[in-house]
A and B are shown apart, each in its own frame.
Chain A
């Protein structure tokens, strides 16, 4: 397999995952803004959505206020936003075109269709009345492509690189979501029974589509430590950091098997994986949740870089 093709499937998967995660964040921001009467706290919510996606500074270049319509249009489709969902879908499709001979027709067609559909949906400004439809389409299409990969691709290096891209991106996203909101989980502000925190915790769980799963596992009891444990260490939850790393480990093992040897990235991943497995949630809080997450995000980026270098993504 060409290094450039590995790069292509890896980024195709990452961009799709990122588009889906952005859609989810917008959904939560919108939901939260609706439940808050006061304008200042609505703005605060939208601001934190921008911070989570790393687009706070870019937004301020041409915008002053944090109104919902402006923020979600910026995130979804604005031309001067290189990180808009529309751009990500275009990048995903461009990468799919580049690696067209490596992916199946099903995956290509699903990706191409996704691009055609969303380009059309996002060709006009999105209003509050059709935001729901747009966000649902983004999520559905991302799942369609993932399903096509799952159902049609050979389990070889191409598939492994795509999956690694998916889970590196997802781990990064979950860690960032947690990091922006880490203060709501700090014990010092965990007022028992506070209505505000219940909403904040619920929001956090919704951002990673984990609210139902969490409630089901914990019989509806919300506590910050439990939520942090769930998002970081629960092996059953498909967006937890541990889950993502377990997936990356197994896909990297697939590469080592096919290619007959490990790389430096395998070693880095083993170290990071071991650290995640050994740590308890008490130790995470002891260390400092914010510090823990910053460190995790840094290592995750480093692993992504090592994979790109070891497998010759670029010259």
Chain B
């Protein structure tokens, strides 16, 4: 997808090519470095990642079973003031998401108040009837949230997507910083960058704070992974390791005496908190997919009896559904009584006839997304699509308009990447990671910056050839 014209906001340089204050110290350092040396460091970074095994698997691409997400060594820099605004906006949004989930699975006041049509819950697989009337331990639904932000101007951050199920990518936030500190230690003595390295400890603390009442003094936390063939296995192992938690698979767990327990070399030991990186549908073959071998038979019964915490709670997917996303401004206002601090990207719901007409009339300028899709699959990028693709998508839209939403082609901000020819601007987004527990909302200063490596491209997904950058939040 191409940006519409060359007027997008560059985070390093202003319109007349002057370096913005946030990047001043970095740029001064960069300009003083020997280019040949920088090129060598760039190549070294890739070897480093391969050796420690930071790889991901791409679905449907067997030849490249394990790939690296390309790392770009130019940092993305966010000022303390920008970050303060983001934090307020994210906190507000995450509070609203949890209140919304609590309400949807109980009294559904928002529907009674006529602010959300009930249609959007009906036939929506992400809404789990098994969760109706049940409150998770500590009242927390979304223990870990990733909010995808895009920037279109100096003060303009917008939410592109909420990830309330099992957001991934946090290991890249951590490893990218490690890599930068190993390659360019002197940068961190010159520039006051807020650390991110305590994220695993914060995550462990946050998860323990959500433990059920039956847990002992020191709750047992386990990370549930689908296994080594999952695309994010590296991250699952990494987080378990850093938290000092067990990394378990479905086959390690079973229900013993009304608790979920893991098979150790000396017998079954109860688990208190499961940080699951397995989708809702695979969690429990007795409640969901009967042939799932990734989950634990009977875990939902244990859950409903309050003897285990599942993070994130089953059924949170309804809150990051792309159709529900379009209601987020109303949702934030309804539950917080405040105006949303972070805006949504303007979005047309194709289910509404007027919107559908607009979308069809302007298809070549819009981005159309499937309501239940993710990872950049199944979407149409109007400006980059051929006539044939447009026609095909038009047919799909007419056949099932309720399956789609549409958004304008945004002129996303750019940050330079390192290329053989020097610095070159590329579009970026930002995913900060948010932890929720009864003790409060905790946002690690930083996040994952994804960057479209192709010139002009707006698709930052790693499954579609995007890369990542270290994201710096500056100290005050």
Contact = CB atoms under 8 A, between A and B. Distances in A.
Interface of A: 1-4, 6, 94, 97-98, 100-101, 105, 108-109, 112-113, 116, 157, 255, 259, 311-312, 315
B228 interface: yes
B50 interface: yes
Contacts of B249: 4
Interface of B: 50-53, 227-228, 233, 237, 240-241, 246-249, 251-252, 262-267
Nearest to A113: B51
A3 B261 CA distance: 12
B241 A101 contact: yes
A97 B53 contact: yes
Given A100-B241, A101-B237, A312-B264, A4 B53 contact: no
B240 A116 contact: no
A6 B265 contact: yes
A101 B52 contact: no
The binding surface of chain A is classed by DSSP as helix
24 contacts: A2-B248, A2-B252, A2-B263, A3-B252, A3-B263, A4-B249, A4-B263, A97-B233, A100-B53, A101-B237, A101-B240, A108-B52, A108-B53, A109-B51, A109-B52, A116-B50, A116-B51, A157-B265, A255-B265, A259-B266, A311-B265, A312-B264, A312-B267, A315-B251
Contacts of A108: 52-53
Contacts of A109: 51-53
A4 B246 CA distance: 11
Contacts of A311: 265-266
A1 B264 contact: yes
B268 to A, nearest CB: 9
A147 to B, nearest CB: 17
Contacts of B267: 312
Given A2-B264, A4-B251, A315-B263, A97 B228 contact: yes
Contact of A2 (B50, B237, B241, B265): B265
B457 to A, nearest CB: 30
A181 B264 CA distance: 42
Given A4-B251, A108-B53, A315-B251, A97 B265 contact: no
B265 A312 contact: yes
Nearest to A311: B265
B252 A112 contact: no
Contact of B265 (A101, A259, A315): A259
Pick from A3, A112, A116, A259 the residue with the most CB of B within 10 Å. Answer: A3
A279 to B, nearest CB: 32
